[in-house]
Structures are given as C-alpha cells and as structure tokens.
Amino acid sequence: MSATTPLAASAGPAGPATASTRRGLLATVRGRLNWQLAVGGSVLALIALIALLAPLIAPFDPNRQDLMMVLTSPGDVHWAGTDGIGRDLLSRLMYGARVSLGVAGLGMLVSIVVGVGAGMLAVFGGKWAERIVLRTIDVQLAFPYILLAVAITSAVKPSFGVLVLLMGLAGWAGAARVVRSVALGERGKDYVRAAEMVGASRVRIARKYVFPSVLPSVLVLAPMQMSAMIVFESTLSFLGMGVRPPTPTWGGIMLEGKDYLADAWWITTLTGLAIFVTALSLMLIGDGLQRITGQRIDAIGGTVESREEKS
C-alpha cells in the first residue's frame, strides 16, 4: 500500500504530530462525516442507552412470571407482548441488550487487541514469529468455528466470560491479517527505512511510526467485527450454548420463542428485529468510518484497499 491515510499522515520520523497537522486532520474528518456514521452512531447510542438504563426504564421485572398473561399479544399493558410463561418481552429485550452488547463489545476488544499484537509480531518479530502467526491464522480460519464453540461449551459451563473468550477467538485472526497487511505496506516506506538506518529499534518503529498507520484500519474493522459478534452471540444462545436462563439474551429469547411461532409471532420477530437493527447500525458505522479513512477492509482476505489506490 503506497498511499498514506489521513490518520497516518501525522506519523513520521520527525516525531508526534504538530498542532497544525492535528487541526488539518480534524478538518479532514469533519469534511468526510457522512449519513452512515450519523445514523448508525445515533441508533447504536440509543440502543446502548436503553440497555444501560434498563433497570430504571423497564416496565416489568424481566424474570417475573404471570401465568394469567401467557402469550399475550402486544397491547397497552405489555407493549411487546409476553412469552410462554407470562414474562414481559419488552423488559426482557432491554435486559437482553445488556448481555448481547456486553459480550459482543468485550469480545471485539479481545479480538482487536490479540489481532493487533499478532499482526505486528508477524511483521516485526522475525521469520519464525511470522511463520508461527501465519500458520496459527490458517488453522484458525480453516477450522469450523462452530465446532470449536461446541467443544469449549461442552467442556466448560457457558457463562459471560466464556462467551467473551469465544468472541475473541472468532475475530482475532481476521484482525491479525488486516494489521499485518497494513504494517507490511508501511514498513517498506522511506520514512520507516530512514528510522531503521538511524538505529531505531523494531519496537520503537512499530509503536511510533507503523502503528499510527494501522490504527485507521483497526477503527474501521472494530464495528464490523462487533456486528458479526452480535449475530454470533445470538446464534450460540439460540443453540443453547450461551448464558444460561433465566438471564435474558436475545438469542435465548428467540430459542424460547421458536415453539410459539404460529401463536406468538412477536417473540421471535421483535427479538430478531432488535438483532437486525443493532447489527445494521454497527455496519453503518463501519461503512461511515471507511469513507472517512478512505479504506475498504477485507478481514478474511487480510487486505486493505485505500481510496487513493483505487483512484
């Protein structure tokens, strides 16, 4: 990759970005703000706020059963209806957002941290480190991940921490390939070679000169990975490998509602809509960040295409 991104322009052998450079960077970002980022960020912020304030704004206790209101359709009392044992669906969706967003967010952070570390190690750690990282990535991407999830949840009782670990394992390989691709392109540039010639260590070069150029790609990749993890967490919970009941999760609610599809469509439909809207908002954020940075990410292929290169 021969062209630098706007965020990468502030990094160079001369040292930290100057105040004028930072002002120019902020001006560039403001000029590229777009509706995808605005809409996606607003929707995600609203969903996160609802999840955070669920104990205060939920109309009912999410685990309170009312056998007189079993499978009640949406109405004045229960706005989203009730489930098979009379629990308020809207309250369970609000509380379920706390688990689903928490698992996906922490899992995304784990995958990004491990992926960045592995990708940078593959570029600056020497030949053996590169071979080990690349072979591990190949094994990770080739192995059917759902089987690994089944094996782990069969050996260990499913919990919030186990789900976060599964999310991290699911995403680190793609992040590592993207980081390695960007770091390799930056390492061949003149300013990095100049730093090597004056005796800068590999750690200093990686941290001070190359990582600022990697950061825009990481920022684009993060919401896309979190979007995929929202769906993946729901899938695991739907398969019975998520957080155990009665703790509400979106996938768990869909699992409970699948037996009532004919009589209580709202359980799976409204839960699926919540998953769809959340995942879509994260994808919009990722698309908006791609427009700001001028990059398009292919996490599976480990490639990054910049706007300048495409033009």
Residue 88 pairs with which residues in a beta bridge? 82
Q: What is the pLDDT of residue 292?
A: 85
Residue segments in the chain with a per-residue pLDDT below the cut of 70: 1-33, 295, 297-311
Alpha helices in 53-88 (DSSP H): 54-57
Locate the domains of the chain by residue range.
37-58+78-310
Count of H-run helices and E-run strands, the chain: 13, 2
The model's pTM is: 0.80
CA distance 94 to 213: 38
Angle between helices 160-187 and 127-142 (to 10 degrees): 130
Question: In CATH, what is the architecture of 37-58+78-310?
Answer: Orthogonal Bundle (1.10)
| 261 burial level (CB within 10 Å; 0-12, 13-18, 19+) | exposed
CA distance 111 to 225: 9
What's the pLDDT tens digit per position in 137-174?
888 888 777 787 878 877 888 788 888 988 888 889 98
Tokens of 153: 């949840």
Q: CA separation (Å) from 101 to 124, 145, 197, 214, 309?
A: 34, 21, 46, 25, 35
Residue 260 pairs with which residues in a beta bridge? none
